[in-house]
Chain A
């Protein structure tokens, strides 16, 4: 389930603050990382945890991946599985944080 702008923790719409190229690169990078654990492939809106594509420890890896790949800190209030459950959700989450950082 994609995260809506209303659920966006940074409170901003990504499309107004980031260009299409950045969004594409973020999505590509996230997909590449997730598909290492799910080589059978996942759709952008697949809930990787509900589908048991990955185990719960992968959520921890995802947090570290986001912090490492996009040079950002995931805050304690952002540690909610809804931001990490799909490629769509995580892309929205990362873009919203990047857009806040750009302000």
Chain B
């Protein structure tokens, strides 16, 4: 495995860094405070091709390799976790459609999803169901020529902006995936406000009141909704969240280095206090480690290596935890200023906390990674 970036990968990273600085950074604080993503920011993400960045070029997507896509995600995630979460949910759902969809489904939806003309959100979580996803309560009852969906989905990222939803429901007690269009009769989309972190991610609750979905909108086989469809999407989502969390660590480090260089306490700058220097060291090592795990995951994914699934889980688990630690340290290092909205570090801490919950809680990853340990991957 090499971590020397190619010219193309460097170009993707540099362009994303410049894009984030010009088009997202000026809005990041406002996105958090207003709890929404302005249409102009959505339009700029779309116009620069980041919504379909990882989708096949044949459908109009960016066709980025995993390392390039990861680097772009880190740069966006460093700047604004809400906008990064838009990229996450759209790409994870659209990539799943690209991999598991029938040729008719791909032709119907992928061109507009690749350009970002249409947005797709991932609708798995319910009011009573989180980690134990097999127990979803939404039902899909067969009716003439399709299914009738009844139930409620909650915490749906960018649900307020999405045109399509990848929805999971029990079909005769077998978890099954469906693509549902927002305009479907009986679907009600309600905003969820005042959340703790990634506050601009336009969360929604979806209510399905006998929403009719044709058979042609079933994604994957009946009963394979969790094993293959949700797991495929979540695998892509974890990859994105791992890089996004690495971006948060980078943002914390950047903020702390700048603060320590300029902030005086007594007769010295903060950077000259040994305990402050230790905090910067720990943050730097955490960022380097998280990024190394992300690179490893990306390289394994690029090569179609079976270890990619669990190594992606490992990258997400480590990076999200390290982001929480780094953001906690960053708030402390800033003192009272860290608790104020005059500095971004409190936003980083709130956003990092969300990273440890989405796409599998820390506890879920601890259980599955322990299973992986028994495969003895460390001997490879």
A residues near B, CB below 8 A? 33, 36-37, 39, 54-65, 67-68, 76-77, 79-81
**CB-based contact B227/A81 at 8 Å:** yes
Interface of A is mostly: helix
Measured CA separation A91–B220 after assembly (Å): 22
User: Are B100 and A56 in touch, CB under 8 angstroms?
Assistant: no
Cβ contact within 8 Å between A39 and B374: yes
Give the CA-CA distance A36 to B100 in the complex, in Å: 27
Which of A36, A56, A76, A77 neighbours the largest number of chain B CB atoms within 10 Å of its CB?
Answer: A76
Q: Does B215 interact with chain A (Cβ within 8 Å)?
A: no
A36-B376, A55-B368 known; A76 vs B102 contact (CB < 8 Å): yes
Given contacts A56-B231, A67-B304, A80 and B221 within 8 Å (CB-CB):
yes
Can you offer 22 A-B residue contacts whose CB atoms are under 8 A?
A: A37-B371, A37-B374, A56-B226, A56-B227, A57-B231, A57-B310, A57-B371, A59-B227, A59-B228, A59-B231, A60-B231, A60-B235, A61-B309, A62-B306, A64-B306, A64-B308, A67-B304, A68-B306, A76-B101, A76-B220, A79-B221, A79-B228
Least CB distance, B59 to chain A, in whole angstroms: 15
Chain A: CB-nearest residue to B377: A36
Within the assembled complex, what's the spacing in Å between the Cα atoms of A68 and B305? 7
CA–CA, A60 to B305, complex, Å? 11
A61 close to B224 (CB less than 8 A): no
A56 to B232, CA, bound (A): 11
Q: Is B297 in the interface zone, CB < 8 Å from A? A: no
- Docked complex Cα distance between A76 and B106 (Å): 12
Task: Evaluate contact between B368 and A57: CB separation under 8 angstroms.
Answer: yes
Q: For residue B144, which residues in chain A have a CB less than 8 angstroms away from its CB? A: none
**Cα(A7)–Cα(B101), bound, Å:** 21
Q: For B376, list chain A residues within 8 Å (CB).
A: 36
Assuming the contacts A76-B220, A79-B221, A79-B224, asked whether A55 and B100 have C-beta atoms less than 8 A apart, the reply is no
